[in-house]
Structure 1
Amino acid sequence: MGSTLAAALIRSGHDPADLVLSDRVSARAEQVAAQHGTRHDAPAAAAGAADVVVLAVKPQDMAALVAEIRDQVRPDALVVSIAAGITTEFLERRLPEGTSVVRVMPNTPALVDQGMSAMSPGRHCTPEQVERARALMAHVGRVVVLDEGHQDAVTAISGSGPSYIFYVVEAMIEAGVLLGLPRDTSTELVVQTLYGAATMIRETGTHPTVLREQVSSPGGTSVAALRALEDHKVRAAFLTAMEAAARRSHELSPREE
């Protein structure tokens, strides 16, 4: 995700020389920096040179990283964390007193600049810093700002959401093949149908229930299919699945000592 964000910033016109990339594996940092034309440095040095520090590591690696960079973070720096489950309090307790922290949950469509990011500011963020973080994440898609108490729900809905969509698309493609379509044709039909349906929701502003009813002619094929989905409790399964994801997100958050 860090590499994705760097690439998006450069595409939008930012000077690669203004970006410093880092990784605990120096060869990896050198490789990614060469790919984007940016500078690279050790984590502590990179943090010390930045007015915005983006922490894009696995949750289990966050405590060690913060311990490594904490003495180098500038007093006026904005720290943006995109590590799942890491709270602003967790970071604020480990960074210098008064450090401004923003927690962000992005998702993988950021790779094609169609991501959905939900961000929550910590105790010390000013409105200007919140806007700066929002503008940063806007380079890879849409952004909402909300209370941090909603982040487990965000993880369940948009953070993990692409996996549910891919799961449904995979099933629909397989159904097309089962019904005799060539796989490439089935794939094109399903992907464009998904894209078109999502575009209709966004551009018309019409509630999905209304759009579904417009497709479902009495006694028709869509009604027959939807009846089968209801018989198999697909709606209830989705609700249960997302509750499970939110619960797991909460479990993965590191507990404070």
Structure 2
Amino acid sequence: MKLGFIGCGNMANAMMGGIIRNGLCKPEEVLAANPSAPALEKAKKNLGISTTADNTEVAKTCDVVVLSVKPQFYEEVIAEIRNAVRPEQLVVTIAPGKTLAWLAEQFGKPVQIVRTMPNTPALVGEGITAACPNENVSEASLDCAMRILKSFGKAEIIPERLMDAVVSVSGSSPAYVFLLIEAMADAAVADGMPRQQAYTFAAQAVYGSAKMVLETGRHPGELKDMVCSPAGTTIAAVRVLEEKGFRASIMDAMKACTEKAKSV
């Protein structure tokens, strides 16, 4: 399988890294296009992939084409490649706000399109990706898309109406978690812990807690209660978080993210 990426930014590199690391494609089977020569040089050096400055070359030569440019460039890029896209090809998109109907209109002909929303933990094989195929996608193409997406983490098929919610709950949420880890580490540093050690303790606590949710199947509230001993240190901290509106601030932030996704 020849896999092509139009766009070679952080998300594309995360996806390509996971795909290659998990053996779904060999480096020489991956072709990336980007107008920035330094970006291509970096990807070629780090991943061993083939590169080009020509988007049309990717569309002409690859079995699967991933559009990994920013949403504002989708119309321009699709106009450039649509005559080269073939019915048997699979096009994978990762842009928030660009619906299957909008994408079909841009191509102006039947195209197999899977709209997705991955996230950057794909870089370490722990991504989570939502996928939504259009009516032209064959069973074989959808299976191919899911194998690609699962090569760098988990992936689930969802109805398109939920895609904007996915943007906020997983696509953008690593940034919220990084903020949390940074804040936790800052507090530990203020209490005397060396900074690098503080990052390790904070990040491992978040990683382990997430793993408990996924592997035990218990409700997060139940797991939280397990840590909160009567008159203990944890419940004192939780009380402050509740007073400061911790939950509400997260929900408000995610709502803003979802609304932005709808308007992109």
Tell me if both proteins adopt one fold, taking TM over 0.5 as the criterion. Answer: yes
In structure 2, the residue matched to 1:255 is none
Matched residue, 1:7: 17
State the Cα deviation string for residues 227-249 of structure 1 (Å, max 9, x = none): 11111121111111111111111
- 20, 44, 64: which one pairs with 2:31? 20
1:40 and 1:46 in contact (8 A); partners too: no
Cα deviation code 1:147-200 (max 9, x no counterpart): 111111111110111111111111111111222323233222212211221121
The residue identity in structure 2 corresponding to 1:185 is Q
Q: Structure 2 CA distance, aligned partners of 1:141 and 1:61?
A: 27
Q: Structure 2 matches for 1:60-99, cutoff 5 A?
A: 60-99=72-111
Q: Is there any run of 5+ residues in structure 1 with no aligned partner, and where?
A: 253-257
Unaligned runs of 5+ in 2: 1-10
Work out whether residues 121 and 127 of structure 2, in 8 Å CA contact, stay in contact via their aligned partners in 1: yes
Contact persistence 1:21–1:40 (CA under 8 A): yes
Stretch moving more, 20-29 or 97-106: 20-29
* Greater Cα offset, 60-69 or 4-13: 4-13
The count of corresponding residues between Structure 1 and Structure 2 is: 252
Residue 69 (structure 2) pairs with residue 57 (structure 1): yes
Q: Which deviations, in whole Å up to 9, do the C-alpha atoms of 1:100-155 show, x marking residues without a partner?
A: 10111111111111111111112211232222111111111111110111111111
Aligned to 1:86, the other structure's residue is in SS state coil
**Superposition deviation, residue 221 in structure 1:** 1.2
CA contact (8 A) 1:102 1:120 kept: yes
In 2, distance between residues paired with 1:40 and 1:168?
37
1:72 partner letter: A
Q: Could you tell me the percent identity over the aligned residues?
A: 36
Per mean C-alpha deviation after superposition, the further-off stretch among 126-135 and 99-108 is: 126-135
1:112 to 118, 124, 131: 124
Q: Does 1:219 align with 2:231?
A: yes
Q: What TM-score comes out, normalization by structure 2 length?
A: 0.89
**Partner secondary structure for residue 101 of structure 1:** strand
